[in-house]
Amino acid sequence: MSDSTHSPATGHAAEESKFAAYVQIAMLLAVITGVEIAVIGLPFAKWLLVSVLVVLSAVKFMFVIFYFMHLRWDKVFCTILFFIGLILAGGTMWALLKLFSVENSVPLSVALNAITDFSRLV
Amino acid sequence: MTSHAATGAIDHHHDHTTSTGIPNKKLLMWAFLASDCMFFGTLISTHLIYRLHPPPGNPVPRQIFDIPLTSFSTFILLMSSLMMALAVNAIQKGNLKSMRFSLLTTILFGSIFLGGQVFEFNNFVHEHHMTITNSILGTTFYTLTGTHGTHVAIGVLWLGLMYVRSFKAAAPTPGSYPWLGNLLHVLALVAAILLSMKLVLSLVWGLQEHGMSAATLGGIARAQWLAIVGAVVAFGALRWFARPAGPVQFDQRNAVDVEMMGLYWHFVDIVWIVIFTAVYLLEYL
């Protein structure tokens, strides 16, 4: 993350090694994407597969923001600023998904029809 | 931007002339990206909430989605991120030629992604009858992925403008109109991208419909002859504009501009990483 104290020599060496690091990270991200696609076909519990997919996506996300977007080498304030937005977004998503579950999103007319059909059956 | 006193090298990560120590342009971009996180967060949530309202006749979203195509698009966008990172790395070292090559490759990958999205949307509308108005799934899906696609299109345009800017002459010839040359350069680049996309999509649709044969290829060539001529002219113009023409105004000192654009491009990539999992892959569980 933030590192404003390294010497010019080490900074230059870091710049030189970035090229190889970028290529390796891109290959790793491609492999993770392949794993994600393979995971959805595995016969495991849904919660486990969802957890694995979320973790793999988070790993890809972190690699991109810390290496490709240079957060690893920039001042820590950039990380804080971005994570403020990220946490607010995550909180908003969590709240929305808690308030409105997928089942509750069924339109009222459809729900009323279902109740009517059920009443007829009873 | 500041210089290391000992080596004279530019420190691309810190700017001691600002109170934060961060280049103002970079700070602005990080603030914008933080706000864009919230924007996409709400769009993704809305889609997840309303995803069980597919169009009539297609009750399950996974019957509509095409995972091989989406996986290919994901791979392409990841590779575009790599090329963008290499472009930033190149200009930070003052390697203008390498930066231009990396920018053009990023533009190519971004255009392939956009072409894939056009193909996907066309397939959804005509094959699966999912439009933006006939189902809530369609509304949330097209709004989310369309907004992301718009971000990609803006990114491609920005990359193109940066590429053209890197040719701006340090000392224009007196009496000439350098802005006109830059404008024509941009137009040639936009025309090359759009016409290439049109030709590739026509080829894919033609082969899908009639199969691979000389007659099919001939038919496509006849139907698209104007686009082919236009593309050849546009690529010829791009080659001509890229000829060596003396010193330019673009160098290491502009690295922060390229980096800021790179931040935007990588953000588009990380949003797709989330969309790929949340919208596409989770439907298959």
Task: Report whether pLDDT(B34) > 80.
Answer: yes
| pLDDT given for residue A5 in this prediction | 43
Angle between helical axes of B96-126 and B136-165 (0-180°, round to 10): 160
Q: Which residues of B touch A36 (CB under 8 A)?
A: 276-277, 281
A52 and A8 co-located in one domain: yes
A84 and A116 co-located in one domain: yes
Range B22-166+250-285 has CATH code 1.20.120.80? yes
A33 and A56 co-located in one domain: yes
Instruction: Encode B139-204 in three state secondary structure.
Output: HHHHHHHHHHHHHHHHHHHHHHHHHHHCCCECCCCCCCCHHHHHHHHHHHHHHHHHHHHHHHHHHH
A43 and A70 co-located in one domain: yes
How many domains, in total, are found in chain A?
A: 2
- Residue scoring higher pLDDT (B276 or B172): B276
- Domain of residue A116, residue span: 76-122
Q: Which residue of B has its CA nearest to A43?
A: B285
- The per-residue pLDDT for range B233-273, each reduced to its tens digit, is 999 999 999 988 788 889 888 999 999 999 999 999 999 99
Cβ pair B74:A33 closer than 8 A: yes
A61 and A102 co-located in one domain: no
Predicted confidence band of residue A55 (pLDDT cuts 50, 70, 90)? very high
A26 and A86 co-located in one domain: no
| pLDDT given for residue A3 in this prediction | 40
A80 and A63 co-located in one domain: no
CA distance B76 to chain A (A): 9
Q: Assess B51–A contact: CB distance below 8 Å, yes or no.
A: yes
A115 and A57 co-located in one domain: no
- The per-residue pLDDT for range B192-241, each reduced to its tens digit, is 999 999 999 999 999 888 888 899 999 999 999 999 999 999 999 999 99
A39 and A83 co-located in one domain: no
C-alpha neighbours within 13 Å on the C-beta side of residue A107: 9
Residue spans of the domains in chain B: they are 22-166+250-285, 177-246
Q: How many CB pairs under 8 A join A and B?
A: 166
Q: Assess B118–A contact: CB distance below 8 Å, yes or no.
A: no
Using CA atoms, how far apart are residues B90 and B95, in angstroms rounded to an integer?
5
Q: What is the ipTM of this complex?
A: 0.86
Q: Which residues of B touch A74 (CB under 8 A)?
A: 13-14, 22, 26
- The per-residue pLDDT for range B82-103, each reduced to its tens digit, is 999 999 999 999 999 999 999 9
Q: Assess A43–B contact: CB distance below 8 Å, yes or no.
A: no
Cβ pair A96:B42 closer than 8 A: yes
> From the list B45, B53, B67, which residue is nearest A93 (CB)?
B45
